Structure 1
Amino acid sequence: MPATQTSNDASLRQAMDHIPEGIAVFDPGLRLVASNQRYNTLLDLPEELIKIGTPLFDIALFLGDRGDFGPGDAARLAIERINELTASPTTVTHRLGNAGQTLEFHSSRLPNGGLVISFTDATARVRAESALAGVNSSLEERVAERTAALTRVNAELEMARAKADAANHDKTRFLAAASHDLLQPLNAARLYTSTLIERAQSTGLADLANSIEASLTAVEDIMSALLDISRIDSGALRPAPTPVSGRDLLKRLEVEFGPMARERNISLRIMATDASVLVDRMLVGRIVQNLVSNAIKYTHPGGRVLVGLRRRGSRMRLDVIDTGIGFNRDQHKLLFAEFSRLERGARMAQGLGLGLSIVQRLVAALGLTLELDSHEGHGSRFSVFLPATRTIRPAPDATAVAPEVNFGTLGLKILCVDNERAIIEAMEGLLRHWGCDVRSALSLKQIDRERLLEGWYPDLVLMDYHLDQTSGLDAIEWLRHNVGGHLPAALVTADRSPAVRALAEERGIAVVNKPVKPAALRAAISGLANQSRTPAKRVVS
C-alpha cells in the first residue's frame, strides 16, 4: 500500500477516534470495515470482535449472549437486532447498554449495500426528557386540579349568583307588593287630608291639615325612592324607548310642580318646544321629576326654575336650571351618594338624599349622559342628553289642562271603583266637595247587583287597577261595552310599572298614580271631562 494511502487511513482513523459518537462501518456482507475507539468502549467488546472483517452477526451474538438485548435465545435476539438495524434505509433505535446506560443507535444503508452505525450515550438526555415528561405530567395534573377547583368555584359562584338573583327578584316582588299594600292606606289618607285642607281653609285647623299633608308627602317620596332603587339594582327596569314629543314629556311638570312652586313663591317656567326624542317616557319622566323637585326644594323664595330642551348636535339636551343654593365641584360625588345631603340643603328641605342617586342610576340604566354645572350660592344646571328623533305630534293628555279648576260649576257625574272601602269613602268626600255627583262600588258585581247605573250615565270613571276578580283595564272595557264605547276613564293605581301604563295608553285610558295628588287628579278629571262622547248611551240592565 502506498505510503500516502497509509497516511490517509491513519489520519481518518485518528479523526474517527476523536468523534464523541461510536461509529462502525460494515461492508455489503455486513463485515466490519472500520470502527472508532468510542464504539469499542461503549460496547465494551473483546479484542477479537473489533478486528477488521468481523461479521456483524458475531458482534450481535456476543451482545445477545451477554444479555444486552434482554432475556431469550442469544442467536434469535442477534438476528432480530440485525434485522432491526437493516430493515430500513435509516433507523433510530434505543437500548440499554452493558452499564445500564441508554444508547441511541442511528443506522444507514450505504449505496454499495454496506451499513454504517453510529450511536451515543443518551442517558442524560433521556433522563432530562423523562424528568420533563414527569414535570409536564405533574403540571397537567396540577392544571387539571386547578381547573377542577375553578370549575367548582365557578359553579358555586353561579349558584350564589342565581340565589342572589332570586333573592333580588323576590325582594323586588315583595317591595312591589308591599308598596301597593302600603300605598293603598296612604292614598286614602292623602284623599282625606286633601278634603280636610280645602274645608279647613281660613280656620285654625288649616296649618294642622297642611302639616299632615307634608308628612304624608314625605312618606310617599321615601317609598317611591326606595322602590325605584330596588327596581334599578335588581334589573327589573326594562327600558322601552319610543318617539316622544318634547312638549308631551314636559307638560306634566306644570301640573305636578306648579302648585309646589307657587306655594314657595318660585317661578317655574317650562319652555315650549317642537322637538321629539327617542326615550323611555316613564323612566326619563322620573329623571326630570326628581331634577325639578330638587330644583324647587333648594331654591329660595323669589327664585326661578327653568326647564327646556335644546338641540346639541344629533342629541337634545334637557336642562333643569335653577337659581338655588348651588354647590362647588368638590361636592359632586357627595351629591349623588345615597342618604347623603349637603349641609345647606339639609337645612332647607327634608328628605333622605335619594333623589339624585336615583337620577344617576336611571341615567346609567338608560345609557344616557348627565352633565352638571353649578356655582355655590348662584344656582345649578343639570342636563341630560337624549337621542333626538323625527318630530312627532304631541299626544293628547288628560293632564294638559291647568290644575286650578272649579269643579263645582261642572256638574260632573263620576263613577269610582276601588276594592278598598277607605279609598272609596275618601274619594267620595273629595269629589263631592268639588261639587261632583259621585257613585262608587267595590267591584263590577256590586255595580250590576245594585243597578248603580240605571238612569244615571257617568261623565267619566275612576278605576282601581288591582280589583279582586279582574283588572281595572278589563273592568273599564266591560263598562264601555255595557254603558258607552266612548266612556272617558282613568286608571287610579299604585302599580307604576311601564307595562301597565303602556296597556292603558293603548286603550286610551289615562293613568293617575296613587297616592293621588289633588292637583294631578283635578287635571286628569278636567281632561277626561273634555273628551267627546257619542250621544248613544246604554245602561246596565
Structure 2
Amino acid sequence: MIDPHEPLDRQVERQARIIDALVRRANRQHEVGTTAYGAFQSAIALQAQVWAKTRDLERTASELHSARADRERTRKNLAEALSAMEGGFALFTEGRLEAYNDLFRALLPDVADRVVPGLPLDDYLAAMDDSEHVVSADSHLPGAASRRGGTGTPMQSRVIELTGDRWYQVNLQSSSSDNVVLLMTEITDLVRRNRSEKENLIEGHADYLQAVFENMTSGVCTFAPDGTLMMHNSQFRRLLGLPFTMLQKGTEMGRLLDFMKTYRLVEEDAELELAIWQERLDRQGRLRKRVRHALGRVLDLHAHKLPGGGVLVELKDVTLEHRATEMLENRVAERTAELTRANQRLTEQYEQKARVEEELRQAKERAEAAVSSKTRFLAAASHDLLQPINAAKLLIATLVDSAQGTAMAPTVERLDGSFTSIEHLLHALLDISRLESTDATLTPSDVCLGTLMRGVAEDQGHVAALKGVRLDVVPTMAFVRSDPVYLLRSIQNLVVNAIQYTPAGGRVLVGCRRAGDRLVLQVWDTGVGISRKDQKRIFEEFARADNVPAGSGMGLGLSIVDRTCRHLGHRVRVRSKPGVGSVFSIEMELVEGQPARSEERGGETTGDEDICDHIVLVIENDPDVLYATTQKLETWGASVLPAASTAEALGFVRDMGLPPDIILADYQLDDGDTGDRAIAAIREATGVKVPAIMITADRRDVVLRRGAELGFSVLTKPVQLSRLRPLIDWKIRWQAPDDAA
C-alpha cells in the first residue's frame, strides 16, 4: 500500500490515513460482531496493526532526518573542496550554472556580477570572449548546443592570456548527458619558463649560426627587407676583396653594388644593377649568375628571396671546377672531332659494306634464280628423261620374256642391267636436285615401315639372288613419322649399297629395333666394310671408301640418305669394320597405335597369275611408252585400250558401252590435259568409280594429294613391273568398281 520509493513526507501521510481508517473501523459496532469475544479479537488485531504502523512511521521519520543531515554535510564538504581548489571550477547542469568556487567568479572581475546560479553556459563563454581582461586566446570553446553528445564527448581546451601577463588553460568536459564541468588552471609559470627557454635557445642559435657562417666555405651575406646589410661572414668579404668599411651592418645593397662596379671587381658590369636584381628576385624569387672576379677567380653567385622579404646572397669559388670544365670541354671537343672523323670513316665503310651486301644480295638472287631455274629445268626434264627410259624398260622387260632360252638372252640381260643403272643414276640426280631446292617441301606423315621394307625386298630380291647374296627382311608393322617417298628411297639406297659391296655368299639383313619412343631401322651386311677415316666422308657427294673397287657407282646414294634424314629430323649412324661388314641405321620418331592402310597391304599380293579377261584402259601421250605398256600388258593376258588423250579414252568407253576394269594414266598429257581429269571424266561418264593407277614422272606432293582425294594409287616412272602387276591384280580383285555416287 506504501511505495518505498516515494518521498518520506508522502509515505508518512499515507500511513496516517491508514491508521485513521483502522480506528474508525474499530469504533463501528456493527462491523465488530455480535459477540464480545469477536469484538475483543478485533480490537487486539487493530491495536497490533496500529503499533506496527506507528513503528514504521517513526523509523521513516528518523531516516528522513538522517538523509537531510547527510545532504547538508555533503553540500558543505563540496563547498569547502571547491574553495580549496587552486583553479577555477564550475558545474553546469542542463546548460546552466549550478556550482562554482570563488576563484572561478573572481577570475574575470568584469564578469563576476553575472556569475550566479542559473547562468547559461553559452552566455558565460560569450562573456569570456568579450571580457576586457582577456588579452588573447588560441581558440574558441563550443557551446552547450554543440556538446549534446553525453558522456564520452572529447575534452575541449583553450589557452587564454589575461592582463598582467597571466595565463590560464580552460578545459571544458561533459561528465554526463546533462552536466558540463569547466576547469580553469593557471599556467603562468609554465608559459614564462618556456618563454625564457625559447629566448635562451634563440640566443644560442644565433651564436651557433654565426659560428656556422664563419666556418662555411661559401661566402654568405643577408640583407633586411629594406635592403640593408644584416650579417655576413669573412669568406664573403675575402672572395669579393671588399674592405671592412663596406660590410658594416646597415650598409645598403645598392651602395655595395655601386662600389663593386666602380672598382671593376666583377667583369660583367651589367649584372651589378640593383634594378635588375630586384626585378629578378620579385619575378623568380632567386638570381643565379656565374661571374669572373678581377683577380681571375670564377664565382657562382646565388641570391634567394627570404620569406620575410629579405635577401640571402651566397658566393662559391668554382675556379678549379671551371678550369676542369673548360679542360673537359676542350677534350670533349677534341674527342668529338676524332669521333666525327671516325664516324665519317665508319660511314664510308658502311656505305662500302652496303654496296658489298647489295652485290651479295644480287648474287644470291642470281644464284637462287639459277638454282630455281635448274630445279625447274630438272623437274621439266625429268618427265622427258623418264618417259623414254620407262618405255625402254617396258620394251626390255617384254624382250627379256621373249629372249628366254635363246642366244640373245645374255645380251638382253646386260641391256636390262645398263638401263637399271641409268635409272638409279637419274633418280639420284633428281633426288639431290629436289633436296637442294630452296622450296623443297617434304611432307612427313604416319608411314608403315614394314610396307616400305617389303617393297624394297621385292625390288632388290632378284638383284641379290643374281649376285648370290642372301637378302632377309625381318617383318614389322611399326609406324614412324616420315616422308614415305624419300624414306623409301633412303632404305632402298642403303640396301642397294649393302648388296653391291657384299661378295657372293654374303648376307644382308634389314630389321628394326625399339629405343624408347624412337624406332631404329638397321641394314646389316657382311661386305667389305669401311675404315674409320672413310666413315666421316662417305655421306658426301661423289665420295667412296678407299677399299671400294672401281666402277662401283658415283657415290650419291649415301649423300641422298644424309640430306633426306637432315630434312626429316632423322639421325643416321654407321658402324663398320673393314673385312667384317657394316651396319647403317636410321633413327626415327615412333608412332603408336596406327593400323596398316589398305593400299600398303595391297602390295603383299604377288600376282603371278595372268591378268586375263580384264580390260585395261591406258592413257599415255608418249607413243613409245604407250606402245611398250600395251605390249607388256598384252603379254600378261590383258585386253588393252591405248589412248593418247582424255577425249580418245572417252571415245573407247562410249564405243564399248561399259566401263573398263582399270585405268592406267600418265599425269602430264598434251594441251594441258592431265591424268586425274581423265580418270574423273571416265568415272563421271560411266557412273562407276573405276579403279585407277597414276604412272607419272612428276614427284610433287600435289599428285599424291590428288590421288588421295580421287582414290587412285600413284607409281613413279620408270615403273617397277614387280610392283605394277600385283597392284593391278589387287585393285581389280579387291577394289571392284562401284557406283560413282
TM-score by length of 1: 0.82
Question: Against the structure 1 CA distance between its residues 260 and 37, is the aligned structure 2 distance closer, same or farther, given a 3 Å change threshold?
Answer: same
Query: Deviation string for 1:289-342 (max 9, x for gaps)?
Result: 222222222222222222222221111222222222221332222111111011
Query: Deviation string for 1:495-538 (max 9, x for gaps)?
Result: 1122312321333212111122332333333333333424889x
Residue 223 of structure 1 is matched in structure 2 by: 426
Question: Against the structure 1 CA distance between its residues 124 and 397, is the aligned structure 2 distance closer, same or farther, given a 3 Å change threshold?
Answer: same
Report the Cα distance in structure 1 between the residues aligned to 2:297 and 2:549, rounded to whole angstroms.
89
Question: Against the structure 1 CA distance between its residues 450 and 248, is the aligned structure 2 distance closer, same or farther, given a 3 Å change threshold?
Answer: closer
Residue 561 of structure 2 is matched in structure 1 by: 359
- Tell me if structure 2 keeps the 8 A contact 1:30–1:115: no
- Letter of the 1:31 partner, please give it: L
Question: Against the structure 1 CA distance between its residues 532 and 364, is the aligned structure 2 distance closer, same or farther, given a 3 Å change threshold?
Answer: closer
- Letter of the 1:381 partner, please give it: V
- Tell me if structure 2 keeps the 8 A contact 1:464–1:472: yes
- Tell me if structure 2 keeps the 8 A contact 1:460–1:488: yes
The alignment status of 1:123 with 2:322, answered yes or no, reads yes
The alignment status of 1:423 with 2:625, answered yes or no, reads yes
Residue 375 of structure 1 is matched in structure 2 by: 577
Moved more, 489-498 or 251-260: 251-260
> Alpha-carbon deviation of 1:35?
5.4
> Alpha-carbon deviation of 1:484?
5.6
Residue 641 of structure 2 is matched in structure 1 by: 439
The alignment status of 1:461 with 2:663, answered yes or no, reads yes
Moved more, 443-452 or 157-166: 157-166
Question: Against the structure 1 CA distance between its residues 456 and 105, is the aligned structure 2 distance closer, same or farther, given a 3 Å change threshold?
Answer: same
Report the Cα distance in structure 1 between the residues aligned to 2:663 and 2:502, rounded to whole angstroms.
38
Residue 597 of structure 2 is matched in structure 1 by: 395
> Alpha-carbon deviation of 1:136?
6.8
Residue 73 of structure 2 is matched in structure 1 by: none
- Tell me if structure 2 keeps the 8 A contact 1:405–1:526: no
Report the Cα distance in structure 1 between the residues aligned to 2:295 and 2:528, rounded to whole angstroms.
96
The alignment status of 1:27 with 2:227, answered yes or no, reads no
Residue 4 of structure 1 is matched in structure 2 by: none
Aligned residue for 2:538, secondary structure, equals helix
> Alpha-carbon deviation of 1:458?
3.0
Aligned residue for 2:325, secondary structure, equals helix
Report the Cα distance in structure 2 between the residues aligned to 1:47 and 1:440, rounded to whole angstroms.
129
- Tell me if structure 1 keeps the 8 A contact 2:268–2:291: no
- Letter of the 1:124 partner, please give it: R
- Letter of the 2:721 partner, please give it: P
> Alpha-carbon deviation of 1:493?
0.4
Query: Deviation string for 1:210-252 (max 9, x for gaps)?
Result: 3333333333323322222232233433233322333333232
- Tell me if structure 1 keeps the 8 A contact 2:268–2:292: no
Match of 1:479 among 661, 676, 682: 682
Residue 142 of structure 1 is matched in structure 2 by: 343
1:267-416 pair list within 5 angstroms = 267-347=470-550, 350-397=552-599, 400-401=603-604, 405-407=608-610, 410-416=612-618
> Alpha-carbon deviation of 1:94?
4.0
- Tell me if structure 1 keeps the 8 A contact 2:646–2:673: no
- Tell me if structure 2 keeps the 8 A contact 1:401–1:526: no
Question: Against the structure 1 CA distance between its residues 402 and 532, is the aligned structure 2 distance closer, same or farther, given a 3 Å change threshold?
Answer: closer
1:257-272 pair list within 5 angstroms = 257-272=460-475
Aligned residue for 1:405, secondary structure, equals coil
Moved more, 464-473 or 238-247: 238-247
Question: Against the structure 1 CA distance between its residues 10 and 32, is the aligned structure 2 distance closer, same or farther, given a 3 Å change threshold?
Answer: closer
Report the Cα distance in structure 2 between the residues aligned to 1:370 and 1:263, rounded to whole angstroms.
29
Residue 386 of structure 2 is matched in structure 1 by: 183
Moved more, 30-39 or 298-307: 30-39
1:37-48 pair list within 5 angstroms = 40=238, 47=243
Moved more, 483-492 or 359-368: 483-492
Report the Cα distance in structure 1 between the residues aligned to 2:368 and 2:695, rounded to whole angstroms.
31
- Tell me if structure 2 keeps the 8 A contact 1:255–1:523: no
Report the Cα distance in structure 2 between the residues aligned to 1:67 and 1:191, rounded to whole angstroms.
117
Report the Cα distance in structure 2 between the residues aligned to 1:484 and 1:449, rounded to whole angstroms.
15
Report the Cα distance in structure 1 between the residues aligned to 2:304 and 2:376, rounded to whole angstroms.
83
Aligned residue for 1:274, secondary structure, equals coil
Question: Against the structure 1 CA distance between its residues 107 and 263, is the aligned structure 2 distance closer, same or farther, given a 3 Å change threshold?
Answer: farther
Report the Cα distance in structure 2 between the residues aligned to 1:58 and 1:157, rounded to whole angstroms.
79
Report the Cα distance in structure 2 between the residues aligned to 1:357 and 1:101, rounded to whole angstroms.
84
- Tell me if structure 2 keeps the 8 A contact 1:317–1:383: yes
Report the Cα distance in structure 2 between the residues aligned to 1:523 and 1:359, rounded to whole angstroms.
28
- Letter of the 2:389 partner, please give it: L
Report the Cα distance in structure 2 between the residues aligned to 1:400 and 1:460, rounded to whole angstroms.
17
> Alpha-carbon deviation of 1:417?
0.9
The alignment status of 1:239 with 2:442, answered yes or no, reads yes
Residue 3 of structure 1 is matched in structure 2 by: none
Question: Against the structure 1 CA distance between its residues 34 and 390, is the aligned structure 2 distance closer, same or farther, given a 3 Å change threshold?
Answer: same
Match of 2:731 among 511, 524, 528: 528
> Alpha-carbon deviation of 1:367?
1.4
Report the Cα distance in structure 2 between the residues aligned to 1:266 and 1:207, rounded to whole angstroms.
20
Aligned length: 521
Query: Deviation string for 1:321-377 (max 9, x for gaps)?
Result: 222222133222211111101133343x63221111111111111112223222222
Report the Cα distance in structure 2 between the residues aligned to 1:202 and 1:192, rounded to whole angstroms.
18
- Tell me if structure 2 keeps the 8 A contact 1:264–1:301: yes
- Letter of the 1:272 partner, please give it: P
Moved more, 318-327 or 276-285: 276-285
Residue 171 of structure 1 is matched in structure 2 by: 374
- Letter of the 1:392 partner, please give it: Q
Report the Cα distance in structure 1 between the residues aligned to 2:659 and 2:315, rounded to whole angstroms.
116
Report the Cα distance in structure 2 between the residues aligned to 1:444 and 1:181, rounded to whole angstroms.
20
The alignment status of 1:488 with 2:691, answered yes or no, reads yes
- Tell me if structure 2 keeps the 8 A contact 1:61–1:74: no
Report the Cα distance in structure 1 between the residues aligned to 2:388 and 2:458, rounded to whole angstroms.
24
Aligned residue for 1:334, secondary structure, equals coil
Query: Deviation string for 1:26-45 (max 9, x for gaps)?
Result: 3333638445568756x6x5
1:44-55 pair list within 5 angstroms = 47=243, 51-52=247-248, 55=252
Query: Deviation string for 1:52-92 (max 9, x for gaps)?
Result: 45544445456678696869x666x5543565578767776
Report the Cα distance in structure 1 between the residues aligned to 2:407 and 2:712, rounded to whole angstroms.
40
- Letter of the 2:534 partner, please give it: Q
> Alpha-carbon deviation of 1:110?
6.6
Report the Cα distance in structure 1 between the residues aligned to 2:361 and 2:259, rounded to whole angstroms.
69
> Alpha-carbon deviation of 1:182?
1.9
Report the Cα distance in structure 2 between the residues aligned to 1:535 and 1:361, rounded to whole angstroms.
43
Question: Against the structure 1 CA distance between its residues 138 and 355, is the aligned structure 2 distance closer, same or farther, given a 3 Å change threshold?
Answer: same
Aligned residue for 1:194, secondary structure, equals helix
- Tell me if structure 2 keeps the 8 A contact 1:86–1:107: no
1:56-71 pair list within 5 angstroms = 56-60=253-257
Report the Cα distance in structure 2 between the residues aligned to 1:38 and 1:211, rounded to whole angstroms.
118
Aligned residue for 1:336, secondary structure, equals coil
- Tell me if structure 2 keeps the 8 A contact 1:64–1:78: no
- Letter of the 2:315 partner, please give it: S
- Tell me if structure 2 keeps the 8 A contact 1:418–1:443: yes
> Alpha-carbon deviation of 1:403?
5.2
Report the Cα distance in structure 1 between the residues aligned to 2:253 and 2:414, rounded to whole angstroms.
118
Moved more, 326-335 or 194-203: 194-203
Report the Cα distance in structure 1 between the residues aligned to 2:359 and 2:275, rounded to whole angstroms.
63
Report the Cα distance in structure 1 between the residues aligned to 2:614 and 2:418, rounded to whole angstroms.
31
- Letter of the 1:123 partner, please give it: H
- Tell me if structure 2 keeps the 8 A contact 1:63–1:69: no
